[in-house]
A and B are shown apart, each in its own frame.
Chain A
Amino acid sequence: TQLLEQSPQFLSIQEGENLTVYCNSSSVFSSLQWYRQEPGEGPVLLVTVVTGGEVKKLKRLTFQFGDARKDSSLHITAAQPGDTGLYLCAGGSQGNLIFGKGTKLSVKP
Chain B
Amino acid sequence: NAGVTQTPKFRILKIGQSMTLQCTQDMNHNYMYWYRQDPGMGLKLIYYSVGAGITDKGEVPNGYNVSRSTTEDFPLRLELAAPSQTSVYFCASSYLAGRSGYTFGSGTRLTVV
> Is A44 on the interface with B (CB-CB < 8 A)?
yes
Q: Which B residues lie within 8 Å of A40 (CB)?
A: 106-107
- State the Cβ distance, A108 to closest chain B Cβ, in Å: 22
Report the interface size for chain B: residues with CB under 8 A from the other chain: 22
The CB with the most chain B CB atoms within 10 A, among A43, A45, A94, is that of A43
Q: How far is the CB of A61 from chain B (nearest CB, A)?
A: 15
Interface residues of chain B: helix, strand, loop or mixed (majority):
loop
Q: Determine which of B41, B42, B48 lies in contact with A88 in the assembled complex, contact meaning CB atoms within 8 Å.
A: B42
Could you tell me the distance between the alpha carbons of A65 and B106 in the complex, rounded to whole angstroms? 28
Contact with B along A65-109 (1 / 0, CB 8 A): 000000000000000000000001010111111011110000000
Which residues of A have CB within 8 Å of B100? Answer: 48
* Residue positions of B touching A, CB distance < 8 A: 4, 33, 40-43, 45, 48, 58, 90, 92, 97-107
